[in-house]
Every structure is written in C-alpha cells, then in structure tokens.
Structure 1
Amino acid sequence: MAVDPVSGSSDTAAASGIYVTQPTRTPSQSLDSEAFMKLLVTQLQNQDPSSPLDTNQMIAQTTQLAMMEKMTSMDSTNTENFALQMRMAAANLVGHTVNYLDKDGATKSGLATSVSYEGSVPVVTVGDQKIPLDSISGVVSPAPATTV
C-alpha cells in the first residue's frame, strides 16, 4: 500500500488549512450567568492565600446573580404577556368598526373582518386593507340588533 508524503511547510498548511481567514470573535455586550461564573472562578483561582475571599462578599455576589437571572426571566415573561395582550386586543376588534390612519395620514374607518398574527404586531383586515394594530386609532361598538 502506497503512502502519500506529508509536506512540512507551515505556510502551505496555513494557506490550505481549515481557516482561509482568521475567525473573528464578537464580544458579548451583556453579563449573563455564565460570564459571572467565569469571573467568580477566576477570582477564586487567583486569590491571595493569605487573605481569602470574604464569604459575605461571595454570598452578596451570588445573590446579585440570582436577582439578575430573575429580572431577566421577568423581562421575557413581560414581553410574552404584552404579545398576548396585543393578540387579544386585535381579536376583540373583529366585527367592530375601526378608525385608522392610511398611508397619507387621512383618518378612515371600516369593519374589521379578520386578524393575522404572522408578524410581531397583529394585522387587522379592514375591507381590502391590512392595518397594523398600532395604526388603529379608534373602535366603535357594533349597533345592537333591533327587533320589531
């Protein structure tokens, strides 16, 4: 069985290696729990043995981490709640006459017949127009049915 020779030139290996261009690292702009834990481990590894880390300070830092994680969780929950409220508000418009601003800035009105949730903002169909929920400026309740 024949074996192909391996070139020993590092320039050739660098040019034909995995990376044609050097990979770039984009730094994170936020501190998450992973970054906090890395900082804490680094702090523990590099502490002075003659003056160890104060346990009260470590507990305070751990508490701050837990609070940060809870606040992040609350933020995502609030975002989800807001999206749900927008969907419910848009669904409640169906069958009502709504006022909205058209592209020219003129106020128009029409009957809301359906709602689409495809985008980040629900879109209400009024006649042949697709109106984003945040462009609707007013709602008129349907007239009660009269019986004679």
Structure 2
Amino acid sequence: MYTTTPTRAPKQTLDSEAFMSLLVTQLRNQDPSSPMDTNQMIAQTTQLAMMEKLSALSTTADENFSLQMRVAAAALVGQDVTYTTADGTSATGTASAVSYAGTVPQVTINGMSVALDAITGVTAHPAATPAVTA
C-alpha cells in the first residue's frame, strides 16, 4: 500500500514575516568576528519598509478599482446597454438593477444577470424635448 506524504505548498509572495525571518536567520548565523555591516542592516530594513508600503499601495489600488466598477455599474441603471451573451452573440436591453455580490458587479438586463465586463456599449435615453406652444 502506497501512502503519500503531504507536501508543503511554498509561499508565492515575500511578505514582511518572511523578510524578518530571513534577516533574523542571517544575524543568527553571522560570523562573530565579522558582524554584518550596519549600512547593510539599514538598507535591508529600508527595503522591508518599502515592500510593506508597496503592498499597501497595491491593496489600495485594488480597492479603488473595485469601487470604480461599482460606480460604473450603478450608472448603467436605466440605460440601454449592449452585451455579449454566453454564446458570443450580441444582445441589447435596458439595465434595471445591479448586484455587488460577486467580485465583478452583475447588471440585470431584461431579467438576465450580465457581468459588467460583458457589457460592450451604452446608449442613453434621449432627453424629452418640451413641447413648444404658440
């Protein structure tokens, strides 16, 4: 009978925890007669701070994009939109509602739920022209 041992899935990102672990290991295993240069230590600490700020910036950018998608989807309500169906054809209808339940907002068009990224065009309803009386 063969049994498989579970394999550890490696991390795909280098976060601050991994960075600190590497730095501590480096300090623990350094030669006492030739300690790490303080300039190197400051440079590595600076790199850690920069990495954390870039990670925070990336998170903020993702949140901003999500908010922009929500605003764009909400603006479609009441508009005539063209979208690509699952079979690749084009269809048109009026957007009546928006759902934010998933990662991509879903727009309800003629009773059918359509992902925001499947919408290919928008046509605004013409403004009503007031009647001119003489």
Greater RCO (Cα-Cα under 8 Å, separation 6 or more): 2
2:80 and 2:47 map into 1 onto residues whose CA distance is 50
Count of aligned positions: 128
- Residue 80 of structure 2, aligned match among 83, 92, 97: 97
Partner residue in 2 for 1:137: 120
Alignment of 1:60-139 (within 5 A): 60-139=43-122
Shift of 1:43: 1.3
Structure 2, unpaired ranges of 5+: none
Divergent runs of 4+, >6 A: none
Please tell me the root mean square deviation across aligned C-alpha atoms, in Å: 1.6
Shift of 1:52: 0.9
TM-score (norm 1): 0.80
Percent identity between matched residues is 61
Matched, 1:42 2:25: yes
TM-score (norm 2): 0.88
Structure whose alpha-carbon radius of gyration is higher: 1
2:107 and 2:36 map into 1 onto residues whose CA distance is 59
Matched, 1:26 2:9: yes
Q: Deviations over 1:8-35 (max 9, x none)?
A: xxxxxxxxxxxxx977543323221111
